[in-house]
Structure 1
């Protein structure tokens, strides 16, 4: 019953195709990840907390991605969603989640979510790949195209994604959702294989139709720049394209465009990990979190350790909101997310 009520609210608030809505509620939604505010026989606000692993400070941590956050039009502007977000943060903290992430559906929502402690730390860079007229696929490689799940394909994808040091990861079940969305959009995965190594993949590209009449590479993973270019070159040749639009992590030379936001859920646990990988840092912090009282307090980073205290120790302190702390910790690491259902 709850699933049907949440879907009715979703269909009222969003303008997704019936096919995408079917996919989401078949493969992504569950009552366990849902949190909602009922009113009579209806649901007036809801969101889903989708679990994603993330590489962070040399470890893999648990994060929770806010999806489908929506409020009935008759109840907007009354603080309902802020109440729901605060409730979700408490549940995340109890479950051992260290970070929450999301992708705002509209540009103005960046400011809205900042008031609940989020910070715009995920950026994306858009590059244009142009086909080299003289390049050809050598006999050293072969190309295959797929949109079907295969354990070996997922293992290769996971292994390549794990090399990114501060990046949202995808489980095998989530990879199946990515493939279902890829099929729905008319896209494919292109794979570059070294000859004589038929079970190996040197590069993979997730390719979607792009307006007008172009192609978008939503993710590109390769063992080398040369093999990445070779795969992109062949994608152009197969599809009669001169250019491809490519989404990729930001480089140090470019800031990129705002994509997503993060919020620290467990300050002490995050600062413990951060301190361990930055042993030379010495910080005295005063943290204020309006939604999660458990995070409020004084934190001291020294010699690779983090101590929390309810009492202020001597010395000057840097006072930060939870949003400011999230920016301070994550922004320099250039976190990245891709292949999300945004």
Structure 2
């Protein structure tokens, strides 16, 4: 009976593995399941399969020759406190309607987590359709995306609608020089304003423009005296929606007003209606705890003994001695008594700066709670996040 259950399905950790095992039409299968579950247009789905699929890792679950469930890992290079970190963005988690509630999604999540652990990935992240789906797998909300449509309307309500001399230009695929300027402009702002963000390049914006174009949108540059002061990546296949908007803080209202002048006719919802809308958020999870702890940084040498519990990744369980300084970090297994004890979800919230003070104190196992709190205040990996990628 156990053998029969084991053979009921088979999980493949890449498209190549699936093909090697005789699933020759795996790419066509995931294309169909993507459209069935997400309802994207042919244009957007074609963009994803041209620009993203060749570079990502797709986990699939087949029952006989039928694709039942899939999960995509899209690789990004993130700037984390001025260091470069490789992390996978989980997207495309889908199960065929008639195969749901059989635990297939959970099997793929656990398989992907173990694969990322073995690859030494410090953490992973996703944008959930509902937070409750991923909560049991120790993902926790660390970032809510900005509602730039609402910010545009706020700028108008303030009454600052006079012409300030700025102008809007739409980026074209052939404008390589503007992509270079845009890359330098964005990297400079993100480096100053945020701790964690996806590194930008001209290739990044080539892909982003193709993505926005696939939704009948684009990238709008706002210039003042021929100097770039802000931009927005926007979609228009279902009304006007800003995917990302970056500007110098001093130019915020001017950039948003210029965008409003250009696109206000596509704003189908009022400001009050939009308040009740779904708020896109990013959830994160520590994957390889040792790799994650090694990415922490402190101005002075500090030491912390942490006991971790992880029900999904066995290797993360144990007591670890972390030492950090300007020169770097070291992590070793230890038999020392822990100063801090928490499950992997608590540690995720803690080090991304999202754990409440009282909850922090509950994790501390020694009497000198204030001294441990002081150490923790120096160990955040970063709480100023900017992660807006759709796929």
Q: What SS does the corresponding residue of 1:221 show, helix, strand or coil?
A: strand
How does 1:95-134 map onto structure 2 within 5 Å? 95-105=119-129, 107=130, 110-126=131-147, 127=151, 128-131=153-156, 132=159
Cα distance 1:130–1:268, how it changes in 2: closer, same or farther (>3 A)?
same
Contact 1:35 1:46 in 2 (8 A): yes
Pairing of 1:1-342 with structure 2 (within 5 A): 1-30=25-54, 33-105=57-129, 107=130, 110-126=131-147, 127=151, 128-131=153-156, 132=159, 135-138=162-165, 142-148=167-173, 150=176, 151-152=179-180, 153-163=182-192, 164-170=194-200, 172-195=202-225, 198=226, 200-209=227-236, 215-225=240-250, 227-239=251-263, 257=279, 259-274=281-296, 276-277=297-298, 279=300, 282-302=303-323, 304=325, 305-309=329-333, 311-314=334-337, 316-332=338-354, 333-341=383-391
Task: Report the alpha carbon displacement of residue 103 of structure 1 after superposing the two structures with TM.
Answer: 0.7
User: Retained in 2: the 8 A contact 1:191–1:203?
Assistant: yes
TM-score in terms of structure 2 length: 0.71
TM-score using structure 1 length: 0.80
More helix, by proportion: 2
Q: Tell me the equivalent position of 2:8.
A: none
**Structure 2 unmatched ranges of 5 or more:** 1-24, 270-277, 355-382
Q: What do residues 106-127 of structure 1 show as CA deviations (whole Å, max 9, x unaligned)? A: x2xx122122221111212433
Higher strand share: 1
Q: Which moved more, 1:61-70 or 1:9-18?
A: 9-18
Mapped to 2, the partners of 1:182 and 1:169 lie a distance apart of 18
CA RMSD of superposed structures (Å) = 3.0
Question: Which stretch of structure 1 is more off in the superposition, 81-90 or 294-303?
Answer: 294-303
Which ranges of structure 1 fall in alignment gaps of 5 or more residues?
246-255
Q: Which has the larger radius of gyration?
A: 2
